[in-house]
Amino acid sequence: MPVPFRPLGLIKEVIDSTGLAITHVFEDLIFIEHNAFLLQMADRGEEVRLFFNTESAVEHREEIAWRLAEEGRKRNLQIERLGTFRVAQEEGSEHFQLEFLEGAL
């Protein structure tokens, strides 16, 4: 069965299987509770990009990435770890900026 474009339902199943929850979805970005990582839906439905927060526990990243990839494979998703991201609050605003640091694992 082909994977749909932006397969949020399948990704939710993956996240649920880890005991975590999706807290917010904005366009192609999926924010996960505790903000340790986020997922980005790619141009092809089965491709999902994984970015860890620069402030997350480095020693847990490999295990989390492996578990997400395994659960994703069960649903025909390819979850690939691409790097890290940093969150910065815009001064004097409720808005924030995400900075992606590809390759910085």
Contacts of 64 (CB under 8 A, 6+ apart): 18, 36, 37, 52
Length of the chain measured in residues: 105
One digit per residue, the tens of pLDDT, for the chain of length 105 reads: 678 789 999 999 999 999 999 999 999 999 999 999 999 999 999 999 999 999 999 999 999 999 999 999 999 999 999 999 999 887 888 888 999 997 766
- Quote the domain boundaries for residue 35: 8-102
Q: Is residue 85 included in any domain, yes or no?
A: yes
pLDDT of residue 105: 62
pLDDT at position 41 is: 96
Amino acid at 67: R
CA dihedral of residues 103, 74, 6, 64 (deg, nearest 10): -40
Question: Is residue 82 one of the residues assigned to a domain?
Answer: yes
In a domain, residue 64? The reply is yes
pTM of the full predicted structure? Answer: 0.91
Distance separating alpha carbons of residues 98 and 32, to the nearest angstrom: 14
Does a structural domain hold residue 3? no
- Residue 2 in domain: no
Indicate the number of domains in the chain: 1
Residue 1: inside a domain, yes or no? no
